[in-house]
Amino acid sequence: MCLATPGRIVAISRAEGAPEAGSDLRDHDLWRCALVDFGGVRQQVSLACLPEARLGDQVLVHVGLALCLVAAP
């Protein structure tokens, strides 16, 4: 169940097609995206559930959503 892969955030942006940013901070989080590098493979993922994620962070990604930060083992 739940194939999830750790990768590193290489860029942060706002989702394509997102409506004009509202004043509401939560609304902003809903559309926050990152380009994540998985050992040479890059994919656009949503950061909606990880408002604390920053450039360079390792995140665990499942079906295009970053689920949590991955601590160094």
Partner 1 sequence: MSQENPEALIRLGHGGGGTLMRDLINAEFRRLYADPALALHDATVLTDTSGVLAFTVDSSVVQPLQFPGGDIGSLAVIGTANDLAMAGARPRHLSLAVILEEGLPLALLRRIVTSIAEACHRCGVCVETGDTKVVERGKGDGLFLSTSGLGVIATPRPIHPAGIEEGDQILISGDLGRHGLAILASRHGLELHPPVLSDLKPLWPAVQALLEQGIRLHCLRDLTRGGLAMVLQELADVGGWRFAIEEEAVPISEAVQSSCRILGLDPWHLACEGRFVAIVPAGDGDRALDVLAADGGRRIGVVTAPAQPGGGSGAGTVIVHTPLKTTRRQHPPSGELLPRIC
Partner 2 sequence: MTDSAASTRFLNGPTVSRAAVMEVCGGQTHTILRWGLDQRLPAGMALIHGPGCPVCVTPLPILEAAIALARCPEVILCSYGDMLRVPVPLQGDPQERSIDLLSLRAAGADVRLITQPLQALQLALEHRQRQVVLLAVGFETTAPATALVAMQRQALELSNLHLLVAHVRVVPAMASLLARGESRLDALLAPGHVCSVIGLTEVEQLAQRYARPVVVAGFTPTSLEQALHLSSRMLERGDHGVRNAYREVVHPNGNPRAQALLAEVFEPIDLAWRGLGLIEGGGLALKGAYAEADVRRSLDRGATAAAIAPLRRLGCALETSTEAPGASLCRATEVLQGRCLPSDCPAFAGRCRPEHPLGAPMVSEEGACAAWMHYRHTR
What's the min distance (Å) between Cβ of 23 and partner 1?
32
Q: Binds 42, which of partner 2, partner 1, none (CB < 5 to 8 A, cut-off by type)?
A: partner 1
Based on the shown chain and the rule CB under 8 A, indicate whether residue 25 belongs to the binding site for partner 1.
no
Q: Which residues contact 43 (CB under 8 A, 6 or more apart)?
A: 7, 35, 36, 61, 64
Counting Cβ atoms within 10 Å, is residue 55 exposed (0-12), middle (13-18) or buried (19+)? exposed
The residues binding partner 2 (CB under 8 A) are 1-4, 6, 17, 19, 27, 29-31, 46, 48-51, 60, 62-65, 67-68, 70-73
